[in-house]
Structure 1
């Protein structure tokens, strides 16, 4: 069986390739050393190698999110397994929703990687239907929550957006009041309005929600 490894950490990829080759697989790590390496060139290399199994890193650094390659790789006939440092079930679910056969933590053992390759080789599933449904449901729920948060954030006035942006930077109420040349009571009133619109109970929750959906105040 031919295996393709797409991982920006070449030492890790080469070590993984050596282990799998000792098990009798033909393994090709995709090179990341060229200055013009991009998502398109990496995907093209992955498709050109035509691995029956593709071990795909989630975080490809400056190139971007590896999950963007799951659908085209799967469409080519490859079984994709996401390699990730995260244990976020929503992230795992999104990968599976995109077509990944399974997910492996990068802290897993080489024995687990070999066992995964063996299951793919033997045409066995990596997850039960119930497991797939559960992680996909988690991903969809998080997506819906993020959409709802973004809608609420759009309700903020420019002034409230500025204040939320300052809170995200760790600014205190007194510092915000000094910067905006207003009394602290005014800032606290505006924060209450922000919490009401976001349907949050605390500044910490509001800041956390904004960070979670990647919101940034545009000055």
Structure 2
């Protein structure tokens, strides 16, 4: 199946470059472009692409506001948003993640990294740049010093807590299965259950919820004694 992509950036040259890279790859197709955030919102709602490449800094609506407008609506489109940014720790990126973006990509990334990012975001199976993503999530968690993770520990089964902790560290299903001695299919079932219980669309948003809730603390695995163990 073809993965459809919409490109939103206020620089025509950047849009042309991104289009050329994406359209050179089998199974990827650019279905539209937008030069500002308002145009991106309209185009995504009309075209419903699988992935929207969203520049963080655009006129009229920036990437954060556009993402929030799309994914915070009563009937959000199925589109997953990939934020394009110049800086590893741009403060706007953390707000975009909270608004529902599925990941981010630095603008100095290679063509191969861009293609991989689009495919990963479309699949919803993994987070991008785990080390950098964790740094962003640590920064987000610093904004929630009073949270202790109790709400998520009460919501999830002990085994789901174990899985979510590893998702929040950027682990793949195979890595989680090996660490917890579970079949990869079982891990996938746990992940889907976690997404459903948390009401989120993908693994990155589950990780955001884990950090925001205090289940994961900056630079530490646990917020405190948990319920994890051999259950579930």
With structure 1 as the length reference, what TM-score do the two structures score? 0.54
Once the 2 structures are TM-superposed, how far is the Cα of residue 107 of structure 1 from its aligned partner? Answer: 1.0
Task: Spell out, residue by residue over 1:130-183, the C-alpha distance to the aligned partner (whole angstroms, 9 max, x if none).
Answer: 976763451363699xxxxxxxxxxxxxxxxxxxxxxxxxxxxxxxxxxxxxxx
Between the aligned partners of 1:143 and 1:30, the Cα distance in structure 2 is 36
> 1:102 maps to which residue?
103
Distance 1:19 1:132, change over 3 A: closer
Which one has a larger percent helix, Structure 1 or Structure 2? 1
Alignment match, 1:6: 8
- Which residue of structure 1 lines up, in the alignment, with residue 70 of structure 2? 73
Separation in structure 2 between the aligned mates of residue 120 and residue 63 of structure 1, nearest angstrom: 26
* Number of residue pairs the alignment of both structures matches: 138
Summarize the Cα distance change of 1:122–1:139 in structure 2 as closer, same or farther, 3 Å threshold. closer
Q: 1:26 aligns with which of 22, 26, 29?
A: 29
How big is the shift at 1:87?
Answer: 2.1
Instruction: Label 1:88 to 1:128 Cα distance change in 2 as closer, same or farther (>3 A).
Output: closer
What SS does the corresponding residue of 2:101 show, helix, strand or coil? Answer: coil
Residue ranges of structure 1 left out of the alignment (5+ in a row): 33-37, 145-219
**Partners of 1:83 and 1:104 within 8 A in 2:** yes
Match of 2:155 in 1: none
RMSD in angstroms over aligned alpha carbons?
A: 2.9
Distance 1:94 1:39, change over 3 A: closer
Alpha-carbon contact 1:93-1:137 (below 8 Å) kept: no
The answer to which structure, 1 or 2, has the higher relative contact order (CA under 8 A, 6+ apart) is 2
| 2:53 maps to 1:55 | yes
- How many angstroms does 1:81 deviate by? 0.7
Q: Supply the distance in 1 between the matched residues of 2:94 and 2:57 (Cα, whole angstroms).
A: 16
Q: Provide TM-score, normalisation by structure 2.
A: 0.51
Q: Measure, in 1, the Cα distance between the counterparts of 2:126 and 2:108.
A: 21
Contact 1:50 1:78 in 2 (8 A): yes
